[in-house]
């Protein structure tokens, strides 16, 4: 093999490395991501996986929130060193301080355990106009819903509209399945990347139910804001 052949081979290798860095995202999208800020509310279920993917994608700032300081500490260690600025806040969501805590972020990820906390997060995000990437469920069955103020019903309205009437008051008794949570967290990260980088389609009024045991996926459409609702019907414009 001559010298020329060796030199010519450098171009494809360089391209391959660039593609491995982050396929599918343009320079503009990467720039938007690098300036994006995401609050991850709850890091004990899908939230940590979502955070790991967002660090990998180059999100500028992550605010990790959890009521358990030990969970926060282990999540922080799991994320390792990166370009992403990572803040940790030991805090249980409530209706008083959440607006100021979520105020600086672009998107909130729902990695919360308690359903009342999830509903509170929905209330606050609607009030201050922040998208909420919700996931909820247990075992092998989950639902995912990217809630966008002015385009989406709030969680309190969306659940009954989607036939989810039995919202549990207590956390699930069964041990979560890490493989399922990993897929849920990755889904939430993708939705968040799309919102921050302003790419792809997010209708905001579609909820997806997934049952990995039966292999069924169901998308419920038409979850629009309800005019008679004090949360989604009066979201800030």
Q: Which three-class secondary structure state does DSSP give residue 216?
A: strand
Buried-exposed string 105-143: b where 16+ CB fall within 10 A, e elsewhere = bbbbbbbbbbbebbbbbbbbbbbbebbbbbbbbbeeebb
Choice between 177 and 229, CB closer to Zn ion: 229
Smallest distance, Zn ion to C-beta of residue 112, A: 18
Q: Give the shortest CB-32-to-Zn ion separation in angstroms.
A: 29
In the list 66, 123, 206, 231, the residue contacting Zn ion (rule: CB under 5 A) is 231
Report if residue 79 touches Zn ion, rule: CB under 5 A: no
* Both structure tokens of 93: 């969501």
CB of 98 to Zn ion, least distance (A): 17
In a 10 Å sphere around its CB, with 0-12 CB exposed, 13-18 middle and 19+ buried, how is residue 24 labelled? exposed
**Contact status: 119 vs Zn ion (CB under 5 A):** no
- Other beta carbons within 10 angstroms of residue 150's beta carbon come to 14
Contact between 196 and Zn ion by CB under 5 A: the answer reads: no
Angle at CA of residue 215, ends 53 and 183, nearest 5°: 10
Minimum Å distance from CB 161 to Zn ion?
A: 9
Q: Which is nearer to Zn ion, 75 or 232 (CB)?
A: 232
Q: Which stretch binds Zn ion (CB under 5 A): 51-59, 188-196, 211-219, 228-236?
A: 228-236
The reply to whether 64 sits near Zn ion by the rule CB under 5 A is: no
The Cα 40–Cα 230 span in angstroms is 25
Q: Does 220 interact with Zn ion (rule: CB under 5 A)?
A: no
Q: Which stretch binds Zn ion (CB under 5 A): 71-79, 83-91, 160-168, 222-230?
A: 222-230
Nearest to 31 by CA among 2, 52, 60, 54: 60
Within 124-163, which residues bind Zn ion (CB under 5 A)? Answer: 154, 157
Q: Return residues touching Zn ion (CB under 5 A).
A: 154, 157, 229, 231-232
């Amino acid at each position: 093999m001559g010298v020329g052949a060796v030199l010519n081979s450098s171009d494809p290798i360089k391209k391959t490395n660039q593609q491995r860095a982050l396929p599918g995202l343009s320079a503009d999208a990467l720039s938007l991501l690098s300036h994006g800020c995401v609050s991850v509310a709850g890091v004990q279920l899908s939230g940590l996986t979502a955070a790991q993917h967002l660090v990998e994608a180059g999100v500028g700032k992550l605010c990790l929130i959890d009521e358990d300081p030990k969970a926060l500490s282990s999540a922080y260690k799991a994320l390792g060193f990166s370009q992403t600025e990572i803040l940790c806040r030991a805090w249980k969501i409530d209706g008083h301080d959440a607006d100021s805590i979520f105020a600086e972020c672009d998107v909130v990820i729902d990695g919360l355990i308690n359903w009342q906390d999830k509903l509170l997060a929905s209330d606050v995000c609607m009030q201050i106009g922040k998208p909420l990437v919700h996931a909820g469920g247990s075992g092998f069955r989950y639902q995912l819903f990217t809630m966008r103020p002015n385009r989406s019903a709030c969680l309190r309205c969306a659940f009954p509209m989607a036939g989810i009437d039995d919202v549990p008051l207590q956390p699930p008794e069964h041990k979560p399945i890490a493989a399922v949570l990993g897929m849920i967290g990755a889904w939430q990260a993708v939705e968040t990347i799309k919102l921050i980088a302003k790419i792809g389609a997010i209708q905001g009024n579609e909820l997806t139910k997934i049952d990995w045991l039966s292999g069924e996926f169901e998308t419920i459409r038409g979850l629009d804001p309800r005019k008679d609702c004090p949360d989604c019907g009066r979201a800030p414009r």
